[in-house]
Structure 1
Amino acid sequence: MMRLFSLLKTALLAVPLYALLLLLGTISLAWNMVAMLLQPVLPARLARPLGRATIALAYRWFWATASLTGMMRIDAECLDALRDERGLIFVANHPTMLDALLLVARLPRSACIMKADLMKNIFLGAGARLAHYIRNDSARAMVRLAVDDLRAGGQLVLFPEGTRTVEPPVNSFRPGVTLIAKLAQAPIQTVFIDTDSPYLGKGWPLWRVPPLPVVFKLRLGQRFAPEQDSNALLKQLEQYFRQNMEQRATDAQPACPSTPRAHTSF
């Protein structure tokens, strides 16, 4: 009897949760249909800000809806103070499939580095191309485009683990972010995504209902200045994430400090 009750409860919770995912898919598909028409006719100077601002607005609306329904709780207000800062790289850990949406929703100037095959995705491709997001199929081109974007006053959202975390607290960092910082002379702002939910982490099937509500809290960490030795900075950055997240597991910290703390190398 208890198992039947548990299954019924799970089924009832699944309805609003997957209605949210359907809403997200519908929003993405609708905007991509519009972006497909706009991309051939809009010059880059108009397409880039329009594409990025629209994606940010759409995702922010999605998160607001998720919060109102009680399915999710999101605290990402710490990013708001940095939304207009030009030439800034945001580096975050990558626990779930939803992480990019969390950051981009609050950062309308930002570009993401995306897998090349996603640029052809019906739900993401046209919008990403209109926003001049950066594809990762060529490392040299990826670095060049990211540097050009930052020099032009854009922001970059990047997950140096390369994929969702499978070796807590973080996977080994892949090269790229500190080289981009060096070439663009752009500071790196660290962001920590805290969640106790396994939802949409690596290996979590989309159809499986998690414990609800799903909670995400974002924290600003230290800011790192670009360094000439980009490999050394990458190791320093990875070690900083490991130490902070291991400490976070044992010590309660404020979820969203209002201002970033300066790193000694900044």
Structure 2
Amino acid sequence: MNHWLLQPVMLTLLYLQLLFLGLISLVWNVIAALLYPLLPRRRGMAIGRAGISRGYGLFWNVANASGLLKMDATALDPLRDERGVIFVANHPSMLDALMLVARLPRSVCVMKASLMRNPFLGPGAKLARYIQNDSARSMVRHAVNDLKEGGQLVLFPEGTRTVRPPVNDFRPGFTLIAKLANAPIQTVFIDTESPYLSKGWPLWRLPPLPIAFSVRLGKRFAPSADPAAQLTEIQTYFAESLAADPARTT
């Protein structure tokens, strides 16, 4: 097939996969909206988080089978049932949370309050008891409580996708949460050579194929009595580790 014909075919296949992801999300959020008022908090939370994780896992299975969009996050598998851990990762693309949550069925994410009110995303997030970021104090309190109950907290301390490689400046909060919850901080590196869905990448533009992401574990940090100093330490660790092999991420 000529290259000028192949490109629109590949783009169509890629966006059919994203449409499939959207359909999974829509179906689950309808189910979650029905379950939310019926289930007690703990039961609803467990079902909500497992449902999101399995839905994202299904998407990645289909994507990997297509050969166009590949993800290897098996490094997280030994930690999937570990309780009371904070996972912090760099943030090269819009797909990062999907990779981590697919492998961590106990995990909770922090979401914008506007997304929690979104009928397309909100019901599933509410059932899973995801945490709103509209109030810093409330966010910290809910995160600490969740960790003490055995949850896993997934955070991207850059706050947005990376725009200044190797990492943006980290936002405060996660080291304080670690201190208050007495929870370890597990660093996670998301490696990719693809610019796909990075900050500023237009949705209609076909990137080089296949699009590949891989996840590897970094150091684990014990909670510190000095959260501000630890924040700087972990940001420096991310920057130095990613800069040491710049080909691994965009």
CA drift of 1:237 comes to 0.3
Is 1:202–2:196 an aligned residue pair? no
1:89 to 86, 91, 115: 86
- For residues 59 and 6 of structure 1, the distance between their equivalents in structure 2, rounded to whole angstroms, comes to 32
Residue 40 of structure 1 is matched in structure 2 by 37
TM-score computed with the length of structure 2 as normaliser: 0.97
Runs of 5+ unmatched residues, structure 1: 253-266
- For residues 64 and 155 of structure 1, the distance between their equivalents in structure 2, rounded to whole angstroms, comes to 23
Residue 134 of structure 1 is matched in structure 2 by 131
CA drift of 1:72 comes to 1.3
CA drift of 1:210 comes to 1.2
Residue 102 of structure 1 is matched in structure 2 by 99
Is 1:181–2:178 an aligned residue pair? yes
Residue 256 of structure 1 is matched in structure 2 by none
Runs of 5+ unmatched residues, structure 2: none
- For residues 64 and 14 of structure 2, the distance between their equivalents in structure 1, rounded to whole angstroms, comes to 11
Question: SS of the counterpart of 1:221?
Answer: strand
Residue 115 of structure 2 is matched in structure 1 by 118
Residue 236 of structure 2 is matched in structure 1 by 239
- RMSD between superposed Cα atoms in Å: 1.3
1:71 to 68, 71, 74: 68
- For residues 207 and 125 of structure 1, the distance between their equivalents in structure 2, rounded to whole angstroms, comes to 26
Is 1:25–1:123's contact at 8 Å kept on the other side of the alignment?
Answer: no
Structure 1 residue identity aligned to 2:70: R
CA drift of 1:211 comes to 1.1
Residue 264 of structure 1 is matched in structure 2 by none
Residue 230 of structure 1 is matched in structure 2 by 227
- For residues 75 and 35 of structure 2, the distance between their equivalents in structure 1, rounded to whole angstroms, comes to 33
CA drift of 1:8 comes to 2.1
Residue 15 of structure 2 is matched in structure 1 by 18
Structure 2 residue identity aligned to 1:139: A
Structure 1 residue identity aligned to 2:6: K
Residue 193 of structure 1 is matched in structure 2 by 190
Provide the aligned length of Structure 1 versus Structure 2: 248
- For residues 155 and 114 of structure 1, the distance between their equivalents in structure 2, rounded to whole angstroms, comes to 15
- For residues 176 and 193 of structure 2, the distance between their equivalents in structure 1, rounded to whole angstroms, comes to 32
CA drift of 1:75 comes to 1.1
Question: SS of the counterpart of 1:12?
Answer: helix
CA displacement 1:15-68 (0-9 Å, x = unmatched): 110110000000000000110111111111100010000110110110010000
- For residues 78 and 135 of structure 1, the distance between their equivalents in structure 2, rounded to whole angstroms, comes to 28
CA displacement 1:96-121 (0-9 Å, x = unmatched): 00000000000000000111111122
Structure 2 residue identity aligned to 1:44: R
Residue 161 of structure 1 is matched in structure 2 by 158
Is 1:29–1:122's contact at 8 Å kept on the other side of the alignment?
Answer: no
Structure 2 residue identity aligned to 1:33: V
TM-score computed with the length of structure 1 as normaliser: 0.91
- For residues 106 and 204 of structure 2, the distance between their equivalents in structure 1, rounded to whole angstroms, comes to 33
CA drift of 1:123 comes to 2.6
1:213 to 210, 214, 218: 210
Is 1:30–2:24 an aligned residue pair? no
CA drift of 1:226 comes to 0.6
- For residues 150 and 48 of structure 1, the distance between their equivalents in structure 2, rounded to whole angstroms, comes to 13
Question: SS of the counterpart of 1:105?
Answer: helix
Residue 53 of structure 2 is matched in structure 1 by 56
- For residues 59 and 207 of structure 1, the distance between their equivalents in structure 2, rounded to whole angstroms, comes to 22
Residue 262 of structure 1 is matched in structure 2 by none
Residue 263 of structure 1 is matched in structure 2 by none
